[in-house]
Amino acid sequence: MQKPLIRWILAILITISAAVYQRMTGPSYPLKGKIEIDGQEIFYRLKRSHGGDGSQPVNLALKDTSFNVYLLYKRYKTADDWEKIPMQRNSEQLQGALPHQPPAGKLEYYLLLEKNDAQYSIPQETTVITRFKGAVPKSALIPHILFMFIGMLMSTLAGLEALFKGEKTLKYTLITCLTLFIGGMIFGPFVQKHAFDAYWTGFPNGYDLTDNKLLISIICWLIALWRVWKSKAKNARWWAAAAAVILLLVYFIPHSMMGSELDYEKMQIVTGD
């Protein structure tokens, strides 16, 4: 097998692994688990993000009809009392809904199961935090995701090319800079605007971790491009290798951490958890 093909395969595997890890470890990924009651396992999958208009559905698969199940919720980081509403049965599904919130508004919720004077919480030791956002058109979302994925792929490929002294380090470095800039700095702000009514919430406007880590990554790659382009020294390739490692480390930071959050007291969007 030719070395360029090996580098492509390795770059694809690394990129897919990093993207899946980032998505699954982020605070917007659904909370999954199970609880055992009287020998019966109850599996749950609770959403932690809701886009667009309308309420956020909350569902629980439960065949046992002897349970009374309630949805309890309140606005996040407030002194509100817990709202308690009974979930409605539809065949083997129990269904509830969380009321719609303004962009970046968060609700804290959990499920309460009652049976024979005993109570059980889902999840057992914590609550679920869900964030609401506006509807993002596919015309902005799809190019954003596509260019960011290609940017990560080309970054990894450029790093491997530099590491193994390939001849296409400059080419891949240039493509990396272009795709990251288009995906992150052009389509990214449009996605952010539709979702949270702000084009940019990173430095110097705020401390949004997603925006700031993108900014750091692009700056590192622009420096690498400048060094590889201008320098003919053998160590110039290490700038590309270093930028690739930095972007990979950035991808291991869960997506949406320290993102936009609505402060209900001030009714303004701030940087959240």
Domains of the chain and CATH, by start: 3-26+136-271 (no CATH), 38-133 (2.60.40.10)
3-state secondary structure of 151: helix
pLDDT score recorded for residue 80: 96
Say yes or no to pLDDT of 230 above 70. yes
Mean pLDDT of the residues in the chain:
90
Q: What is the mean pLDDT of residues 14-18?
A: 93
Say yes or no to pLDDT of 1 above 50. no
pLDDT digits (tens, 9 = 90+) for 74-122: 999 999 999 999 999 998 899 999 999 999 999 999 999 999 889 999 9
CA within 13 Å, CB half, 245: 8
Instruction: Look up the pTM and report it.
Output: 0.86
152 contact partners, CB below 8 Å, separation of at least 6: 15, 18, 19, 247, 251
Say yes or no to pLDDT of 233 above 60. no
Say yes or no to pLDDT of 258 above 70. no
Contact status, residue 123 vs residue 31, Cβ threshold 8 Å: yes
Q: What is the mean pLDDT of residues 152-166?
A: 92
pLDDT score recorded for residue 197: 86
pLDDT score recorded for residue 166: 82
Angle at which helix 138-163 crosses helix 237-251, to 10 degrees, equals 130
Which tokens sit at 180? Answer: 């990251």
pLDDT tier, 268 (very low <50, low <70, confident <90, very high otherwise): confident
65 contact partners, CB below 8 Å, separation of at least 6: 89
Whole-angstrom distance, CA of residue 63 vs CA of residue 112:
16
